[in-house]
Amino acid sequence: MKYNAVALTQLIEQFASLPGIGMKTAQRLAYHVLSMTNEQAKAFSDAVLKAHETIKNCRICQNFTDEETCPICGDTGRDRSIICVVESPKDVDAFERTREYNGLYHVLHGLISPMDGIGPEQLYVKELLTRVAGDEVKEVVMATNPTVEGEATAVYLARLLKPLGVKVSRLAYGIPVGADLEYADEVTLFKALENRNEI
């Protein structure tokens, strides 16, 4: 694409650097930006800057917020005795969508992954321990992803938390609701069988 203008090439490259966006999609998005009105392009550009400038981590749970304390931590109607530990703010959204969980969260902003050189000190582990030690916390739910890194992080944190005298639990493994048994993998099916409940 040597015939493309520099500014266009740069915009395409910027879009292509986003996760899950390939060259073709980046090109389509860049062309869409060019077809915007001046106000729309300004609004888009500003939204990027403003979000990046104003969004910080909540002082307590480390979730993204534009205030000192996020609305969840500041909500007096929520159960402060239970903390759900997640990898990223996306996971908080996922739990909030269930509309069933009424406790607090703690966002690690990553998982322990020696392969990528990420140890506990790069995550918000210390902050979690301080919360659990000082607060009225009774239970900590490990809600990291069911991957090798998610498991390792959950086990690591459980070992640190148990001496503090709280109950540490882990999300249940099993078959997803609406799934087809035929396509379930062996490990999941075994876990579902192992953790079967009486009806």
54 or 147, CB closer to a copy of itself?
Answer: 54
d(CA 144, CA 92): 11
Around 111, how many Cα atoms within 13 Å sit in the side-chain half-sphere? Answer: 20
Residues contacting residue 26 through CB under 8 Å, at least 6 positions apart: 12, 13, 14, 15, 16, 18
**Residue 49 near a copy of itself by CB under 8 A:** yes
Phi and psi, residue 141, nearest 5°: -95, 120
Instruction: Kindly tell me which residue out of 4, 130, 147, 195 binds a copy of itself, with binding defined by CB under 8 A.
Output: 4
- Burial track 6-16 (b if 16+ CB lie within 10 A, e otherwise): eeeeebbeebb
Using an 8 Å Cβ cutoff, are 89 and 107 in contact?
yes
The interface with a copy of itself within residues 167-196 (CB under 8 A) comprises: none
Instruction: Kindly tell me which residue out of 85, 86, 92, 140 binds a copy of itself, with binding defined by CB under 8 A.
Output: 92
**Residue 27 near a copy of itself by CB under 8 A:** yes
The region of 12-20, 116-124, 136-144, 167-175 touching a copy of itself under the rule CB under 8 A is 12-20
**Residue 130 near a copy of itself by CB under 8 A:** no
Virtual CA dihedral for 60, 139, 92, 149, nearest 10 degrees?
100
64 or 156, CB closer to a copy of itself?
Answer: 64
**Residue 88 near a copy of itself by CB under 8 A:** yes
Specify the residue for token string 């918000």: 124
79 or 195, CB closer to a copy of itself?
Answer: 79
d(CA 52, CA 55): 6
**Residue 52 near a copy of itself by CB under 8 A:** yes
Instruction: Kindly tell me which residue out of 16, 68, 96, 197 binds a copy of itself, with binding defined by CB under 8 A.
Output: 96
Q: Note the residues at the interface with a copy of itself (CB under 8 A).
A: 1-8, 10-11, 13-14, 18-21, 25, 27-34, 36, 38, 41-55, 64-67, 70-72, 88-90, 92-93, 96
